[in-house]
Structure 1
Amino acid sequence: MTGGKRRWRRWAAEGWICLPFLATVLIATGPAAEFQHGSARSPDAAGYVIVTAAALALALRRWPGIALAANTAFVATYLAAGYPFGPVMLTVPVAVYGVASRWPLPRAALAAAADLGVLIVSLFAKRVRDAAGVPAGSGYYPMPRDAIVWGSIITAALAAGALSRALRQAATGVHAEQARRVVSEERLRMAQDLHDSIGHGLAAIAMQAGVALHVLDRDPEEARQSMKAVRATSREALENLRAQLDGLRDMGAAARAPAPGLSDLGRLTERVRAGGVTVHADIAPDLTSLPTAVDAVAYRIVQESLTNVLRHAGAVPVRIRIRREGDALLLEVTNTGGAAGPAPPGNGLGILGLRSQAEVLGGTLTAGPDPDGGFGVRARLPLEGDGR
C-alpha cells in the first residue's frame, strides 16, 4: 500500500503536465475536424484512443526518450491513418522540449531530427490518403511548406529545451560555488579562531617559560610564579582548543561557548604581565552594551596585538587605549620599544585577518611602526550599521 502511494505521488509530481493536453485533445479534436473537409477519415473511437495515448505519453517526463518515442509513434499513427489535424499536434514540441531539457544538445538534436523525419513521413502518408478520398485538387497541401513549418517548430522546441538545461546547469553551478564559498569562509573563520586563541596562549607560555629560565638560579620564587602562570595559561589554551574542536564536530558547540569580549581584557593582560611585559590599560568606563560582533573583534585586536609583542618584541612596555568617539569604538595598542610588528603578510592570519574582520563590520585597521621606534595597531569599529 505504501509503495503504491509512493508511486502515485511520484507520477503525480512528474506527469501532471499531460493533463491540460489530455483535456484539450479530448475536447477540441472533434470541433477541429469540422473545419477540415479534405481529411480521409473523421475522428472516431480509435482516433480518440490514439490522441489520448499521445497526450498521456507526456507524463513520462522522467524518461524523456521514451516519452518522445511514444508520442511520435501515436501522432504518426494518427496522421498516417488519415485523421484531420488537431490539438494532438501541440504535444509534439512539448515532447521535443522534454528531451532537450534533459539530454545533452547533440543527443537531443538527433532525437529531434528522428522525430521530424517520422513526422514528415506520416504527413506524406496523410496527404496520399486524403488525395485518394477526395476530388483531385481539393485536398492538396504542399509538402515543402509542412516540412518547413514543422522543422521550425521542432527546432524552436529544441532550442528552448537546450536553453532551459543550460540555465539549470548554470544555477546548479552557482549554488555549488556558493556552498564551496561558505565552507571556505567557515574554515577560514575557524583557522582565525584557532590562531587568535591558541596562538596567544602559546606565545604567552613561551614568554613565561623564558622568564622562569632566566631567573631560575637567582630568584627561584619568581621562577615558581612564572611556571604557575605557564600552567594556568596552558590549561586555558587547552580549554580553548577543546572548544574549537567541539565546534568542528558540532556547530552547536560554538553557541554554548560565547566569544570573549572586552570584559575579558583583565584576564588577558594579567597573562601578559605574568610573562614580564608591562601593560598600561586606559579603557573608558562607558564600554558596556557594545554590539556582540564589535565586542568580539575588539578583543581579538587587543589579543593579537599583545601576542605580536610577546613574539616579536619581548618584554617591552605596552599601552592599550580603548574609547568611544561618536558612533565608533577606537582602539590603540602600542609598544614603546622594539619592533613588535605583525607576522609576515603572506600567512593570511594575524593582523591581516583582523583587518578583514574590521572591514566586515564597516571599520578600518592600520598597523605599522611608530616614529619613536615602537609599533602601533589602531582600529576604528562602527557601533551601528554593519556592526549591529
Structure 2
Amino acid sequence: MDERIRHLGFGHPWLRGGPGAGDGGETSRLPWLSSLLLAVLVLVGTGFAAEGQPDREPLDVFARLLLLAGPALLLLRYRRPVVCVLGVALSVLVYLGAGYPYGPVLITVAVAVFAAIVSGHRRAAWWAIGLLWAGHLLVVHLLYRHLPPSGDAAASWWPEVGVAAWVAAVLVGSELVGMRRERWAHDRRERAAAETRRADEERLRIARELHDVLAHSLSVIHVQAGVGLALLDSDPEQARTALTTVKAASKEALGEVRQVLDTLRTSGAAPRAPAPGLDRLPELAEQAAGAGLAVELAYDGERVPLAPGADLAAFRIVQEALTNVVRHSGSRTARVRVGYGTDRLTLRIDDTGPATGDEAGGSGNGLAGMRERAAALGGAIEAGPRPDGGFRVRASLPLTPKETP
C-alpha cells in the first residue's frame, strides 16, 4: 500500500508537509478560530439545506461526525496540507455516498485544496479534487441503486456542468494565489541573496584594504626594526633614523586602518579622509625608501583624473607590488611606470631581483588581491619573472574619467 501511495505522488516528503507546507509562522500554529467558524457554518448550513431535501437521508450522528471531520482536518492545513486535502476529500466523498443532504460541506474541500496549492502541493490537491469528483460521478450515476437513499434515481448530467465550473473556479483561484505567493517568495530569496552578495563583496573589499595597508606598513616596520636592532650599538644615529621610520609607518597604518573601520562602523557615511590615489605615489616611494628600496617613478601620456575606485585600485596595486619587492626580492631598486592611454591606464612595476627565498611572513594573498581589484574594474593583472631576471607586475585598468558633480 505504501508503495502504491508513493507511486501516486503522495509519499514522503509530501505527507510530512515538505518545505512548502507553509510560510513563516503558519506551520507553528493551528488555525483554531477559522476551523471552528467553518464547523459552525457547515453544521448550521447543512441543517437548513436538509429541510429542502426530504428525499435525502436525515442527518444523524454519523452524518454530523462526517461534517465535523472536514473542519477538524483543516486544523492541519498548514502543517500537513497533503494529509488535510486527502482526508477532507475522503470525508466528503463518504458523506455524499451515504446519501446525506447536499450543502456547504463542499466549502471544506475548497479551503483544503486552496491551502494545499498555496503551500506548493499542487499534485496532491488535483488528485484529491479529481478523485472526489470521480467518486461523486460514480455515486450519482452508477452506484445510486446500491447506496442510500433507497429508491433514488440517476441524477441528470446537466448539474455536472455547475460542478465542473465550481471545481475549475477553486483550482484556478488557488493556482493564481499560489503563483503570487511563489513569486513573492522568489523575490524575497532574490533580495536576501543580493544582500548576502553585497555583504560578501563589502567584506572582501575591507579585507583587501586592510591587507594592503597592513602588509605594506608592516613590511617597512619589519625591515626598519631589523636595521635599528642591528645598528643600535654600532651606529645609534642610523638606528634612530630607522626607528623614526617605524614610527611614521605605524602612524600612517593606524590612520588608514582607522579610516577603514570608521566606514565599517558608520554605514553609508562619507569617509573622513579621501582615499589614497596615484597622486600619493611620491609618498609611497618615500616610505619604500625608508625600507631601503629606491623607487623610480615615471609617467607616460597626459595625466587625467580617475574615478575614485580606479584611483584607489591603481594605488593599492603599486603599493602591494612594492611591498612584495621589499619582502621577497634582493633588489634595492624598483621602477614604477604609469601610462595614460586613450582608454586604458597601465601600471608596470619592475625589480631586478634576485628573489631572496627568505620567509617574509606574508599571507600569499597579495597577487590574488591585486587581481581581484583589477577584475572588479574590468582590468587585468600579469605578474611573473622578467626575461633578464627580477620580477614584473603589469596592470591594465579602464581609464574612466572622474564623474563631475
Shorter-chain TM-score: which interval?
0.5 to 0.7
- Deviation of residue 148 (structure 1)? 9.2
CA contact (8 A) 1:208 1:230 kept: yes
Q: Deviations over 1:297-321 (max 9, x none)?
A: 1101100001111111256211111
- Deviation of residue 248 (structure 1)? 2.5
Tell me the residue number matched to 2:237: 221
Question: C-alpha distance in 1, partners of 2:296/2:262?
Answer: 35
- Identical amino acids, percent of aligned pairs: 38
- Deviation of residue 147 (structure 1)? 11
- Confirm whether residue 100 of structure 1 aligns to residue 120 of structure 2: no
Question: C-alpha distance in 2, partners of 1:160/1:322?
Answer: 62
Amino acid at match of 1:371: P
| Runs of at least 4 residues off by over 4 Å | 89-95, 114-125, 145-152, 154-159, 385-388
Tell me the residue number matched to 2:124: 109
Question: C-alpha distance in 2, partners of 1:248/1:355?
Answer: 23
Question: C-alpha distance in 2, partners of 1:116/1:158?
Answer: 19
Question: C-alpha distance in 2, partners of 1:94/1:220?
Answer: 90
Instruction: Pick the aligned partner of 2:263 from 236, 240, 247.
Output: 247
- Confirm whether residue 368 of structure 1 aligns to residue 398 of structure 2: no
Question: C-alpha distance in 1, partners of 2:244/2:224?
Answer: 9
CA contact (8 A) 1:116 1:154 kept: no
Tell me the residue number matched to 1:164: 179
CA contact (8 A) 2:113 2:125 kept: no
Question: C-alpha distance in 2, partners of 1:230/1:369?
Answer: 30
Change in CA separation of 1:292 and 1:385 when aligned onto 2, cut-off 3 Å = closer
CA contact (8 A) 1:332 1:378 kept: yes
CA contact (8 A) 1:116 1:150 kept: no
Question: C-alpha distance in 2, partners of 1:157/1:112?
Answer: 15
Tell me the residue number matched to 2:337: 321
Instruction: Pick the aligned partner of 2:369 from 345, 349, 353.
Output: 353
Tell me the residue number matched to 2:299: 283
Instruction: Pick the aligned partner of 2:277 from 243, 261, 271.
Output: 261
- Deviation of residue 253 (structure 1)? 4.8
Q: Deviations over 1:227-278 (max 9, x none)?
A: 1010011111112222222232222356334321011112111111011111
- Scaled by the length of structure 2, the TM-score of the pair is 0.60
Tell me the residue number matched to 1:5: none
The gaps in structure 1 that reach 5 residues or longer are 1-39, 41-60, 71-82
Q: Secondary structure at the match of 2:271?
A: helix
Q: Cα RMSD (Å) of the superposition?
A: 5.5
- Scaled by the length of structure 1, the TM-score of the pair is 0.63
Question: C-alpha distance in 2, partners of 1:243/1:232?
Answer: 17
Q: Secondary structure at the match of 1:251?
A: coil
Map residues 1-388 of structure 1 onto 2, 5 A cutoff.
96-97=113-114, 99-102=116-119, 109=124, 113=128, 117=132, 140-141=156-157, 149=164, 153=168, 156-157=171-172, 160=175, 164=179, 167-168=182-183, 171=186, 172-253=188-269, 255-284=271-300, 286-314=302-330, 316-339=332-355, 349-384=365-400
The gaps in structure 2 that reach 5 residues or longer are 1-54, 56-76, 89-100
